[in-house]
Amino acid sequence: MFMLRRDLKRGLSAIKRGDKWKDTLKIFLCLIFHIFAQYTSNPRRFLSIKNRLIKGTIVKLWNIKYYLVDFDSFIITSPLYEREILPWILKGLRNGATFVDIGAHIGRYSLLCAKIVGKNGKVIAIEPHSRSYKILLKNIKLNNFKNIIAMNIAAYDKSCKLRFYLDSVSPSRSTIKVEHGRPQCNITYVNARRLDDVMNELGINNVDIVKI
Name which of 63, 68, 62 is nearest 90 in CA terms: 62
Per-residue pLDDT of the chain (212 residues; tens, 9 = 90+): 434 445 555 556 778 889 999 999 999 888 888 878 877 777 777 788 888 899 999 999 999 999 999 988 998 998 888 889 889 988 889 999 999 999 999 999 999 999 999 999 999 999 998 889 999 999 999 999 999 999 999 999 999 998 877 665 555 555 545 554 555 567 778 899 999 999 999 999 999 999 98
Averaged pLDDT score across all residues of the chain:
85
Beta carbons within 10 angstroms of residue 90's beta carbon: 14
Name which of 77, 119, 70 is nearest 97 in CA terms: 119
Q: pTM for the full model?
A: 0.86
Burial class (CB in 10 A: 0-12, 13-18, 19+), 124: buried
